[in-house]
Chains A and B, each alone.
Chain A
Amino acid sequence: MKNVKVLGPGCKRCVATAEMVQQAADKIGVPVSIEKVTDYAAIAGYGIAATPGVVIDGRVVHAGGLPKPEDLAKWLAA
């Protein structure tokens, strides 16, 4: 089970990113638990400068804009 955090104050793109993570995980068959982090202080703690951000098992893999589905799959599979 991979723990995925989607960092973002709740904007449209943050919601879309969370959905993309779920889709990518389903596609490659990796079980995930997705958690949305909306608190600004908590987001800032990850050291990113743009949202949405994606953190997989504690590692920041993406920040700013929508990630590409194939990149998500790659990160989830790693």
Chain B
Amino acid sequence: MTAPTLISPAPGVPSRPARDPRSARWVAATVAALAGWAVLYSLLQPFADWVVAVLPIPPAGRLHEAVAFFAYDTPKVLLLLAIVVFAMGVVRSFFSPERTRALLAGKREGAGNVAAAMLGIVTPFCSCSAVPLFIGFVSAGVPLGVTFSFLISAPMVNEVALGLLFGLVGWKIALTYLAFGLGVAIVAGWVIGRLHLEGWLEEWVRNVRGGVAELPPVEVTVIDRITAGLDAMKDIIGKVWIWIIAGIAAGAFIHGYVPAEMLASIMGRQSWWSVPAAVLLGVPMYSNAAGIIPVVEALIGKGAAIGTVLAFMMAVTALSAPEMIILRKVLSVRLIAVFVGVVATGILAVGFLFNLLFA
């Protein structure tokens, strides 16, 4: 295997002046931007009314309804997403995978699964880093099941899904998604841990003895944290805005044109098979929670059952084919099958439970 390097402790790092005079200006600018955001948000309805009034559309028709939906929802969703992503960017500047690993190493199962699922929300994570993270966690003594709790929660309970649910279907559903997403991650990770599948890891992974690198301390200033939030906002909004607009356009179409009875009969509560069908449909789709959620909102408005819709979203975000291909490098096919089976069962349970509760 690779020769581990000598990791010496960091030499004293000269610290920058503790009080940077620019900090005050940055904080003031952030507060001002937040105030500006609030003003924009309060103008959403007048703006939508104005757009609809200006366009030559017969009032109270189908087209009118679709355009009104589009003109109100697009800026609203972008605004809410921007603020949620910014806030998450700032929160994540307080965490790092290294720190999370140190917190989780040697934790017992149970409490460890809960901690891992919650840290999965706030730890910066990108799926390109999934393999190093997996090996880094397991080789440093984080139990396999606890590692899985983290790996399930991190992509599923993400700021894009939460921000969009919050913007489109309200904070109650967003919070419920958060709670049930955590629940699935905790229980699925715990089950995988109880099965003791360490032997099903690829052999080279079991042989890695990396230890834990000790990084030199890096000072993170207020300015760095605000910048991290802005970077996250630019990065994510830049990536998903086109999907959001496409999604809301599709939603607007459904809103104005698709008859409610038709959807309710396909995706409604009465058809038990709709939940498994939604999960099957969700697995091959990848990462564009952004494009799907606006459609989701319109579907709910037209009578699709909440549980079915949430199961669909969870399947899209937690069980994606590309991520499994990446994880195949470290997990045997059998272990991936168990992972998919356990998580899918959890998502199905959430879907059925929801449809039962929110009748």
By a beta-carbon cutoff of 8 Å, the part of chain A in contact with chain B is 7-9, 11, 13, 39-51, 53, 55, 58-65, 68, 71, 74-75, 78
Contacts and interface: CB of A to CB of B under 8 A. Distances in A.
B5 A58 contact: yes
A40 B136 contact: no
B129 A50 contact: yes
Given A43-B135, A45-B4, A46-B213, 20 more contacts: A7-B132, A8-B132, A11-B129, A13-B128, A41-B2, A44-B132, A44-B205, A46-B4, A47-B139, A49-B132, A50-B96, A53-B132, A53-B213, A59-B6, A60-B213, A61-B216, A63-B213, A64-B97, A64-B124, A78-B11
Given A41-B1, A46-B5, A58-B6, A9 B128 contact: yes
Contacts of A47: 4, 7, 136, 139-140, 210-213
A8 B218 CA distance: 21
A13 B128 CA distance: 10
Contacts of B212: 47
B2 A45 contact: yes
Contacts of B208: 41, 44-45
Interface in B123-157: 124-126, 128-129, 131-133, 135-137, 139-140
Interface of B: 1-8, 11, 13-14, 96-98, 100-101, 124-126, 128-129, 131-133, 135-137, 139-140, 204-205, 208-216, 218, 224, 329-330
Given A64-B97, A74-B13, A50 B5 contact: no
Of the candidates B3, B11, B215, the one having the most CB atoms from chain A within 10 angstroms of its own CB is: B215
Nearest to B204: A41
Contacts of A41: 1-2, 204, 208
A59 B215 CA distance: 9
Contacts of A39: 2
A59 B132 contact: no
Nearest to A5: B5
A7 to B, nearest CB: 8
A40 B330 contact: yes
A60 B5 contact: yes
4 smallest beta-carbon distances between A and B, as pairs: A49-B136, A45-B2, A50-B97, A47-B213
Nearest to B220: A68
Given A44-B135, A46-B210, A50-B133, A60 B215 contact: yes
Contacts of A9: 128, 131-132
